[in-house]
């Protein structure tokens, strides 16, 4: 290696501490303040208790919903108020000694913490009534809360908004406050938005009592399902599954044109199967792939954009998608596996788009792949890391066999613990495997597992003990559990706060009101545009087609604009309540409209000016953040057009109520892929040879037309592409002769 290359390597590669700092900077939920050693020990105990409680209840039995969500909220309040300062100033993250601080945490935060825990647990304590305090059973207090309910309910609403602000910033709480204002001051709103208004006591009751509001479906899903999958992803990453993915992605794609960039795409797709976080995905895989891309010759902003666009796909990549996918399953009242199946082709379309841009850019820059010596050896990688795939297999087998998501997560975590901590050569450590096998036998004898499932899980437990890698010690695994809890704080706070939005929508019917406004506006605009299309002779475009398209564009723009700084899960919950009524009026199947909103919520993560994944990638690539965001957005065009495709052709989702037809699916899928390839070529400006600007615009328009799945549209798109195809063919022949 030359001295120049060595210097470049040392400059490009970042330490674990630097990567953690990047994640803290761009993932608001990772920026925590230092605390004193004694308090840190106490918080560690709280985090471990929180994790173990969720792990055990997933496998054995869930308590009543109001208790379960109360305990979950209590953990959120304790850890959030201890770790996140009131305002994220530089001084707030310094250690300061003061009589008004305990372990560097202000006493004021401890008071809020106690109020939060009391408000979260009061519901369970007063559920059956407290006669000595004059509190009736909860059933008799619905809609007519007493003074205790009003106090704790009001405290909970305010404090939930506060922990959402501390972990995620001001944007989400501000939007929720607008919804609260709409509920309370309905008579003062104009036109179709006007409603009689909700009394304060009724509002607090609706937000506080279960079934809707804070103790509604969003908090239930996060406390019962999402946290477990976050924990599984962190443990699997710690035991070596993430590295196994990167190594295999390098083996698969590293040798080809632009190898390291393709490794980034493939490894992010693999890693996305166990990670629901775009920023975590970016930092984990980008630490290796971005420096490799820069050494190969990719510009820094493009290298960062590739990683950000690929990593953003993690939330839409089956089988373990982001938290929003689990909430979607609850909203639609379908098994989570249905959502997983529906997400397969749209996720594939996204990665096809990113992969195509990467390939064409590599050809344009004449970049080569990795040398054979630089590639990991397939035999060595699997000989060392084969056991790390066993927990994922266990999780997927249970999930796709019809068991609950939290039972599959319990089994996946259990096998991951065995693969990380149990070894045949150290008999004392086999206690972990023995405990899990005993659990499986107990479930079988009680009729919980059938014989086949029991045999598979026992086999996974035994295989985990044969892991050739170095065993992870208990203190190290405890740290991993603690990390998993910290990752879940932001999504937990968001889910609790967004429950307020769900409650307001259910109480006021604002979703249907805004949906009506969207469809009416789109219908009026569509009618006007149809007159113009008639004048140009494009009579195969109907008013209904234009109304649907304009409605989709309105909703997509709303998703992207509102997604500036709002987590995908919170954005999905807010917008699907508006989009679903609007799209249902236009005849769109529910799963297609829900997927549409989810995907545009993810697009917001790589759309400037606020694109956290791209900013994290830019920090690793040492490139301009805004330019990196632009690169990520253009690379993610496949994700921009994919939602349009499956709204027009629900057959792409496999499980739509419109049915599945193999020929229709094949034709529509091919049309969509052609559209994504055309768009990708327009972005890069290169196919076999450089493409001039006029032809690039022509390809971009043709790509959008391809997405509309009809024979007339595809023929029109082919006519548009013909001059570009002929030109590229002639240039390729000329280059070959030369």
- Express each pLDDT in 452-472 by its tens digit: 999 999 999 999 999 999 999
pLDDT in the model for residue 328: 87
DSSP character at residue 86: S
DSSP character at residue 368: -
pLDDT in the model for residue 54: 95
pLDDT in the model for residue 275: 57
Axis crossing angle, helix 300-312 with helix 625-635, rounded to the nearest 10: 50
List the single range of 60-69, 269-278, 339-348, 423-432 with lowest mean pLDDT. Answer: 269-278
pLDDT at 272 exceeding the cut of 80? no
**pLDDT for 496-523, tens place per residue?**
998 898 888 888 888 778 777 888 888 8
Contacts of 145 (CB under 8 A, 6+ apart): 153, 201, 204, 205, 208, 209
Handedness of CA 258, 264, 265, 267 (dihedral sign): positive
pLDDT at 642 exceeding the cut of 70? yes
pLDDT at 486 exceeding the cut of 90? no
Q: In what helix (H) or strand (E) does residue 102 lie, and over which residues does it extend?
A: strand 101-102
DSSP SS3 for 502: helix
pLDDT in the model for residue 18: 67
DSSP character at residue 423: B
Contacts of 518 (CB under 8 A, 6+ apart): 551, 554, 555, 578, 582
Structure tokens at 551: 């409605």
User: What is the C-alpha to C-alpha distance for residues 18 and 155, in angstroms, rounded to an integer?
Assistant: 38
pLDDT in the model for residue 69: 94
Strand partners, 690: 686
Higher-pLDDT residue of 702 and 555 is 702
Q: Which of 6-10, 631-635, 724-728 has the highest mean pLDDT?
A: 724-728
Q: How confident is the model at residue 564 (pLDDT cuts 50, 70, 90)?
A: low
Q: Which of 100-114, 199-213, 630-644 has the highest mean pLDDT?
A: 100-114
pLDDT at 610 exceeding the cut of 70? no
CB-side neighbour CA atoms (13 Å) of 80 = 33
Q: What is the mean pLDDT of residues 20-36?
A: 68
List the single range of 31-35, 59-63, 407-411 with lowest mean pLDDT. Answer: 31-35
- Going by C-alpha positions, the residue among 501, 489, 584 that lies closest to residue 217 is 501
Q: What is the mean pLDDT of the chain?
A: 83
User: What is the C-alpha to C-alpha distance for residues 313 and 278, in angstroms, rounded to an integer?
Assistant: 8
Q: How far is CA 236 from CA 257, 485, 528, in A?
A: 31, 14, 55
Query: If 0-12 CB within 10 Å is exposed, 13-18 middle and 19+ buried, where does residue 341 land?
Result: middle
- Going by C-alpha positions, the residue among 409, 399, 408, 398 that lies closest to residue 453 is 398
Q: CA end-to-end span of the chain, whole Å?
A: 34
Q: Which of 310-314, 564-568, 684-688 has the highest mean pLDDT?
A: 684-688
Q: How confident is the model at residue 9 (pLDDT cuts 50, 70, 90)?
A: very low
């Amino acid at each position: 290696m030359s001295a120049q290359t060595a210097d470049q390597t040392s400059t490009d590669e970042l330490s674990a501490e630097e990567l953690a700092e990047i994640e803290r900077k761009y993932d608001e939920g990772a920026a925590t303040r230092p605390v004193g050693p004694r308090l840190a020990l106490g918080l560690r105990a709280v985090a471990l208790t929180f994790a173990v409680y969720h792990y055990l209840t997933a496998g054995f039995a869930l308590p009543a919903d109001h208790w379960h969500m109360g305990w979950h909220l209590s953990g959120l309040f304790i850890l959030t108020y201890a770790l996140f300062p009131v305002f994220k100033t530089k001084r707030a993250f310094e250690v300061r000694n003061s009589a008004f601080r305990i372990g560097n945490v202000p006493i004021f935060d401890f008071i809020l913490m106690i109020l939060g825990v009391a408000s979260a647990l009061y519901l369970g304590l007063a559920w059956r009534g407290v006669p000595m305090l004059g509190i009736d059973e909860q059933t008799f207090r619905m809609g007519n809360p007493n003074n205790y309910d009003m106090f704790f309910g009001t405290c909970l609403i305010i404090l939930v908004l506060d922990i959402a602000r501390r972990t995620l910033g001001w944007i989400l709480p501000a939007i929720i406050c607008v919804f609260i204002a709409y509920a309370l001051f309905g008579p003062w709103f104009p036109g179709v938005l006007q409603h009689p208004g909700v009394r304060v006591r009724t509002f607090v009751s609706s937000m506080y009592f279960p079934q809707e509001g804070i103790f509604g479906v969003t908090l239930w899903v996060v406390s019962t399902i999402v946290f477990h999958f976050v924990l599984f992803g962190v443990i699997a990453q710690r035991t070596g599954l993430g590295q196994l993915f990167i190594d295999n992605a390098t083996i698969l794609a590293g040798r080809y044109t632009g190898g390291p960039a393709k490794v980034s795409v493939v490894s992010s797709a693999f890693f996305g199967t166990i990670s629901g976080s775009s920023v975590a995905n970016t930092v984990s895989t980008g630490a290796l792939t971005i420096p490799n891309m820069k050494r190969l010759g990719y510009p820094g902003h493009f290298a960062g954009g590739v990683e950000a666009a690929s990593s953003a796909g993690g939330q839409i990549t089956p089988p373990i998608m982001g938290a929003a996918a689990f909430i979607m399953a609850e909203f639609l009242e379908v098994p989570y596996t249905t959502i997983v199946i529906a997400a397969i082709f749209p996720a594939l379309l996204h990665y096809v788009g990113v992969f195509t841009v990467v390939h064409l850019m590599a050809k344009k820059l004449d970049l080569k792949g990795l040398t054979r010596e630089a590639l990991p050896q397939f035999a060595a990688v699997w000989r060392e890391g084969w056991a790390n795939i066993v927990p994922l297999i266990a999780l997927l087998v249970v999930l796709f066999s019809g068991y609950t998501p939290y039972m599959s997560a319990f089994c996946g975590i259990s096998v991951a613990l065995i693969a990380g901590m149990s070894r045949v050569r150290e008999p004392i450590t086999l206690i972990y495997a023995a405990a899990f096998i005993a659990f499986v036998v107990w479930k079988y004898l009680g009729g919980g597992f059938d014989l086949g499932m029991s045999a598979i899980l026992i086999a996974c437990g035994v295989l985990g003990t044969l892991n050739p890698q170095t065993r992870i010690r208990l203190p190290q695994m405890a740290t991993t559990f603690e990390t998993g809890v910290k990752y879940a704080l932001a999504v937990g706070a968001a889910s609790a706060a967004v429950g307020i939005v769900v409650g307001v929508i259910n109480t006021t019917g604002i979703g249907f009101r805004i949906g009506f406004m969207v469809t009416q506006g789109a219908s009026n605009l569509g009618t006007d545009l149809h007159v113009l299309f008639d004048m140009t002779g494009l009579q195969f475009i109907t008013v209904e087609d234009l109304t649907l398209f304009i409605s989709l564009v309105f909703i997509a723009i709303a998703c992207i604009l509102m997604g500036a700084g709002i987590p995908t899960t919170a954005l999905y919950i807010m917008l699907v309540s508006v989009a679903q009524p609007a799209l249902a009026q236009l005849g769109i199947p529910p799963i297609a409209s829900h997927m549409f909103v989810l995907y545009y919520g993810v697009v917001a993560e790589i759309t400037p000016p606020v694109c956290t994944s791209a900013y994290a990638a830019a920090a690793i690539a040492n490139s301009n953040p805004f330019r990196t965001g632009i690169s990520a957005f253009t690379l993610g065009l496949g994700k921009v057009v994919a939602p349009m495709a499956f709204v027009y052709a629900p057959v792409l989702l496999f499980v739509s109520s419109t049915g599945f037809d193999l020929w229709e699916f094949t034709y529509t899928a091919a049309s969509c892929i052609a559209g994504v390839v055309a768009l990708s070529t327009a972005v890069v400006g290169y196919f076999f040879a450089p493409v001039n600007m006029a032809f690039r615009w022509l390809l971009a328009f043709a790509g959008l037309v391809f997405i509309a799945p009809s024979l007339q549209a595809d023929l029109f798109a082919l006519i548009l592409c013909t001059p570009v195809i002929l030109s590229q063919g002639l240039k390729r022949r000329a280059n070959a002769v030369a």
